[in-house]
A = this chain, B = another copy of it.
């Protein structure tokens, strides 16, 4: 290519080459050209577009709310998930995630039930205002930067590169769509209508001033595993041409990103950079194995990312 490097935050290597060749093939080569309308890209959020350790950003938001509730009402402290939140029991919380990735959602359902109760009865616009305020004011516990500064700069650059090449980028996350929507446009260039995520059950109440959509105290669905391709279809109505994930919960979405007659790009972010971020493969073992047999592109944060995060205001 004789043009300026469109991905300066990526080191030269197999991953960068795979991205550039894929985009070249669907946008410029006659035999593999794909019309713009079909250039759908779907990305997991936590651990793929931004940091998910020591726990996903939304977990911090929820745990603070649960702890507040337990602070105000001592009876709540006897049952999960309030007990863990109140006691800052990271072990129980860690198990929610480990067991979820291992296929056991018992604790995840308990946590989801707590979340549903914690925000039950709140209007969706109020919920987003709370999330917006939390995300803009809270520091990551160890990285020395705000949560909204934990987006991976090379992934943000990739999203921009895809968009500049006619792709329509979507977030498909296990986190609540309403939690992320206030900041996805600013952080990732992805507007709210292209954010698919988990959801509580919703209700609508009419009134004289426009009515309101309200979160019910009941779980809607957890957008993970097979729910990802299902909600991509419901929300987008097309099979992705490009997808990115980092864990076992992303396997069905990455599998679904396949066309008999078109090139496709499946990216799996590997967390192998303990110095600049975190190093872990827990919850991603099966995905990593599958990457090898299915021709997915593994993105090593250590080797492929020239930089991990963007500039931080906290560094001032």
A interface list, Cβ under 8 A from B: 37, 124-125, 168, 177-178, 181, 185, 191-195, 199, 202-204, 206, 209-211, 213, 226-227, 229-230, 233-239, 251-252, 255-260
- Give Cα A81–Cα B151 distance, bound, in whole angstroms: 52
How far is B252's CA from A293's CA once the two chains are assembled, in angstroms? Answer: 50
Residues of B near A256 (CB, < 8 A) are 204, 210-211, 213
CB <8 Å contact, A213 and B230: yes
Bound-state CA distance A235–B235 (Å) is 7
**Bound CA–CA A234/B216 (angstroms):** 14
5 extra A-B contacts, CB within 8 A, seeds A199-B234, A206-B251, A211-B229: A177-B234, A195-B237, A202-B233, A206-B255, A235-B235
* Partner of A177 from B125, B199, B237 at Cβ < 8 Å: B237
Residues on B with C-beta less than 8 A from A237 are 177-178, 181, 192-193, 195
> Is the pair A239, B259 in contact by a Cβ cutoff of 8 Å?
no
The answer to whether A229 and B213 touch (CB under 8 A), given A192-B238, A236-B192, A238-B193, is yes
A165 to B1, CA, bound (A): 38
6 nearest A-B pairs in the assembled complex, by CB-CB distance:
A192-B237, A210-B258, A204-B226, A213-B233, A193-B236, A202-B230
